[in-house]
Amino acid sequence: MIGTLLQVALGGAIGASARWGMGLWVLRVTGPGFPLAVLSVNVLGSFVMGLAVVAMAQRGLSQFAPLVQTGILGGFTTFSAFSLEAFALMEKGQAGQAAAYILLSVGASIGGLYLGVLLGRGLLA
């Protein structure tokens, strides 16, 4: 249990640092405006998650899933975990549940942020 927690913690530090670095790099290359840094991190993280899941399964390296999937890629972007879960539902033939998961995740997350902003502004004003 502690070993797994340490894997996740170490991986999370690596992933979050990589996200920050990539965000700075993309911003320097593209400039401000459209959030390409976040988009790039989400797409790259999801791509690497796909590669990692297959590679670890084929090579019997699932013991590194906490480090790589939850830690590094989760710290880099939680969108990669979201993508993996949505894909898993689709792969199981549960397209309706996948669509509901995608719509609810995006809609409820934006709604939660909106409510948090409203509450925060009300408490701070």
Which uninterrupted H or E stretch holds 125?
none
Encoded tokens for 50: 């796909």
Which uninterrupted H or E stretch holds 14?
helix 2-30
Q: 74 a known binding residue?
A: yes
Q: Cβ(48)–Cβ(54) under 8 Å?
A: no
Given phi > 0 = left and psi -120 to 50 = alpha, else beta, which region is 33?
left
Q: 30 a known binding residue?
A: no
**Cα within 13 Å of Cα(6), Cβ side:** 3
Q: What angle do CA 33, 46, 107 make, to 5 degrees?
A: 65
Q: Which residues are annotated as a binding site for Na(+)?
A: 74, 77
- Binding-site positions read 74, 77
